[in-house]
Amino acid sequence: MDSALIKKAKTDPDAFGELYEAFYDPLYRFIYLRVNDQALCEDLISMVWEKVLAHLKTLKTDAPEAFRAWIFTIARNTITEHFRHHKEIPLPEDWDTTSPEKLQDELNGKELSEAITTILLGLPILERELVSLKIFAELSNKNIAEVSKLPERTVAAYLSRALKHVQKRLSFYSPDL
């Protein structure tokens, strides 16, 4: 993705379609890890793209990194707005108290990607969001700080802690990971 595509997408439906294709999977993974529901995830993605389409012409820069941060900010705000109105809790509060033995039993027989998704869903919501922005949105810590409205050093600390947690949980799944 480059600046020319972003600029062209402001007036050309085909170019907008290319942006949609480029960002659908990362947005899906980001949103799914927050809501843990396929149908809701698809609804929220639709809302995100409606907002992108409505406001793309107002975007002041065509820089790819700025666009990436902008679209994931829209996604984050759409998720927040949904939960503000629906008061749903995406995961039980005591999920993280699962014992390593129980987690091992749950992960046996699953593919690695399913194991990673399970582990990411077990992170506290803020850490899950930050890891999703880092991995799926491929944002820098600086851009994550802008999206999340947290200091960059705080983002780095949360990411470090979350990734250590993921690594530890993955080691229960496979000691070689």
HEC-encoded secondary structure of 105-172: HHHCCCCHHHHHHHHHHCCCHHHHHHHHHHHCCCCCHHHHHHHHCCCHHHHHHHHHHHHHHHHHHHHH
Angstrom CA distances, 174 to 104, 112, 150, 156, stand at 9, 9, 34, 26
pLDDT digits (tens, 9 = 90+) for 64-100: 988 999 999 999 999 989 988 876 544 444 444 445 5
Q: Which residue has the higher pLDDT, 112 or 165?
A: 165
Identify the structural domains of the chain with CATH numbers, from first to last. 3-86 (1.10.1740.10), 95-173 (1.10.10.10)
Q: What is the DSSP letter of 29?
A: H
CA angle 121, 29, 16 (to 5 degrees): 160
The confidence score (pLDDT) of residue 22 equals: 92
The answer to whether the predicted template modeling score (pTM) of the entire model surpasses 0.85 is: no
The confidence score (pLDDT) of residue 95 equals: 45
45 pLDDT higher than 90: yes
105 pLDDT higher than 60: no
Burial of 46 (0-12, 13-18, 19+ CB in 10 A): exposed
Which of these, 18, 29, 130, lies nearest to 64 by C-alpha position? 18
Distance, in Å, from the CA atom of 128 to the CA atom of 109, rounded to the nearest integer, reads: 24
pLDDT band at 117 (very low <50, low <70, confident <90, very high): confident
Mean pLDDT of 59-64: 88
Contact between 141 and 155 under an 8 Å Cβ cutoff? The reply is yes
Contact between 112 and 169 under an 8 Å Cβ cutoff? The reply is no
Both structure tokens of 160: 């470090």
pLDDT band at 135 (very low <50, low <70, confident <90, very high): confident
The confidence score (pLDDT) of residue 175 equals: 58
Q: Which residue has the higher pLDDT, 168 or 74?
A: 74
Kindly report the backbone phi and psi dihedral angles of residue 12, in degrees, each rounded to the nearest multiple of 5, phi listed first: -115, 115
The confidence score (pLDDT) of residue 60 equals: 87
The confidence score (pLDDT) of residue 88 equals: 53
Distance, in Å, from the CA atom of 43 to the CA atom of 86, rounded to the nearest integer, reads: 14
